[in-house]
Structure 1
């Protein structure tokens, strides 16, 4: 059977029952991957013709009315098909690792956000904007985005304390400096696209500042000169944190513009705007054609920002979203 790889126009030979990701890798097709177990979503691709069988689901057929996306690592070839891989020039291959890290500090950033810093036991390479699974105790595992870069000496995470949350409650009340945390990663597809030369829209809600900070730092420290417009949205002034980091970056890089938007209670603070963060973006940018968007935070904000970005001209495949779902687990 044949597998056509778009947009590269490659035609691969494969046997029925072959794993799609292994077929791509064996033929040196540039495709992103990480966990190899269907968790990270990095190897996501689209079936544009024919059928493949994704583990745990019905056969995925090309369908103009549907999505057609599959995870290559979990997909089996059943017949000749054509697939579309995203951004072959922006491939990342950071095989997921499992390792231990030691807690070096836990500090309060706001009334409900903790800054957790870990020193990894081995080098950990990831792309800005990715996340990892942190196991702080048996049966206590949650995903958190890295706030720094893989060149940093330590890993940094911003943990929002969830009422009655088992994991965040443990981090707040029991985890201490010197404790060991099990880390699995990197995971996630909302990472920095470093070859893009156009403007970047970065919208962070609450602790969604962590991956956005990583993305912005990654862009600036790698020498990207793109105009970067960062919007940090929070509910009240007491939810604001990290402005010293953002101000320092903006003072050193003229291509970075930072807007802090507070839903209510900003008062006369001239450094903050009042209102909804997506409304601020809409007011400032009537046309986003040619931009890329990085959106991180609570699902309602991410959904609203995604819809706005698409309506203002950003192609759907150039909107990289990471929604933070609350959990009491």
Structure 2
């Protein structure tokens, strides 16, 4: 048996060593398959196998595998979607708006635009803080400038980054951005689009939904927005626009608390339509939600692009907390990030 195989990647034939990952084999042939984490977590390097076979190493979904994990085992023909090149950009925070008691909309103006596909993500570093991954989106009214990146960030009380929004991270704060990454982006197609976003996972889903309505207005679409707390279903204006634009099924649902008028109760999976093999499913949210939707999509062999959102395990250190106590100004209510009061409940 030969120690090398023939790989055809996006139409270019190369020789590849058996046992190499597809990313390694491509790089040896001077082809860069988009990738990021290298551990099989981010899904950036998912490629399609059109002919032949590879050792999927447990990453197969339909006809796709993760190129950073799958290994060369024989001759094969593979293809990946062309995406904007990964670049680095500098910018500044120009806006901090509380969308709900937990979620903040952060606007970053870049010195030079950063091209990305709707649904991709970037690595963002606020000066003095570790990098975090965020998905660029649009405001609820669909606005956004070419040199702007708009993020939805959930405030976590002990989060190193998110807890400082409106405190140490304010308008004018310097930012470095690297990207784009991710394969869960909008693609033109004919199958029904089923879009599910929960919590801050609404950010990439809104970006995909808005793009799809303009790029392929006749394509059938279902949109489901979810949250645990009904107060975090902040996307009403966006959902109204989708309904007016012709989307047949638009759902806002909360799994906890008392839903507001126009909202449903339950998890997003409770309102999912019966999936078809021809469907193209996008899901962004908690790992549990993503796993459930992936399983349902796999049961009918539907295409599923998943973007699990996981909070960083790192917490604010004792040093950060002592700094707050000794030096930080702690206003009772930050004027740049007004937190909306929870609506009164009917007595």
Q: TM-score scaled by structure 2?
A: 0.75
* Paired residues of 1:132 and 1:184 also in contact (CA < 8 A): yes
- Give the distance between the partners of 1:157 and 1:198, measured in 2 at CA: 29
Alpha-carbon displacement from aligned partner over 1:19-61 (angstroms, at most 9, x marks no partner):
42245666xxxx85266978964333478978xxxxxxxxxx7
* Paired residues of 1:2 and 1:11 also in contact (CA < 8 A): no
Match of 1:242 among 226, 235, 240: 235
SS in structure 2 at match of 1:173: coil
1:155 aligns with 2:155: no
User: How far off its partner does 1:81 sit?
Assistant: 3.0
Alpha-carbon displacement from aligned partner over 1:199-253 (angstroms, at most 9, x marks no partner):
01101111110000011111112234211101011112211102112212321x2
- Give the distance between the partners of 2:256 and 2:234, measured in 1 at CA: 16
Residues 190/108 of structure 1: CA separation in 2 closer, same or farther (3 Å cut): same
Number of equivalenced pairs = 298
1:12 aligns with 2:14: yes
SS in structure 2 at match of 1:204: strand
User: How far off its partner does 1:178 sit?
Assistant: 1.5
* Paired residues of 1:261 and 1:275 also in contact (CA < 8 A): yes
SS in structure 1 at match of 2:201: helix
Alpha-carbon displacement from aligned partner over 1:52-91 (angstroms, at most 9, x marks no partner):
xxxxxxxxx726x84474536x9997xx7334535x5xx2
- Give the distance between the partners of 1:276 and 1:100, measured in 2 at CA: 38
* Paired residues of 2:226 and 2:268 also in contact (CA < 8 A): yes
Match of 1:135 among 125, 141, 155: 125
**Map of 2:306 onto structure 1:** 321
SS in structure 1 at match of 2:165: helix
* Paired residues of 1:35 and 1:96 also in contact (CA < 8 A): no
Residues 321/11 of structure 1: CA separation in 2 closer, same or farther (3 Å cut): same
Match of 2:281 among 285, 288, 293: 293
- Give the distance between the partners of 1:100 and 1:9, measured in 2 at CA: 35
Residues 267/36 of structure 1: CA separation in 2 closer, same or farther (3 Å cut): closer
**Map of 1:232 onto structure 2:** 225
Q: How does 1:185-200 map to 2 (within 5 A)?
A: 185-194=179-188, 196-200=189-193
User: How far off its partner does 1:326 sit?
Assistant: 1.1
Match of 2:267 among 267, 273, 276: 276
Gaps of 5+ in 2: 315-347
* Paired residues of 2:284 and 2:290 also in contact (CA < 8 A): yes
* Paired residues of 2:223 and 2:251 also in contact (CA < 8 A): yes
1:105 aligns with 2:95: yes
User: How far off its partner does 1:198 sit?
Assistant: 1.3
Q: How does 1:172-187 map to 2 (within 5 A)?
A: 172-187=166-181
- Give the distance between the partners of 1:153 and 1:10, measured in 2 at CA: 34
* Paired residues of 2:113 and 2:147 also in contact (CA < 8 A): no
Gaps of 5+ in 1: 51-60
User: How far off its partner does 1:189 sit?
Assistant: 1.0
User: How far off its partner does 1:3 sit?
Assistant: 1.7
1:170 aligns with 2:127: no
**Map of 2:136 onto structure 1:** 146
Alpha-carbon displacement from aligned partner over 1:167-190 (angstroms, at most 9, x marks no partner):
111224211112211001101111
User: How far off its partner does 1:9 sit?
Assistant: 8.5
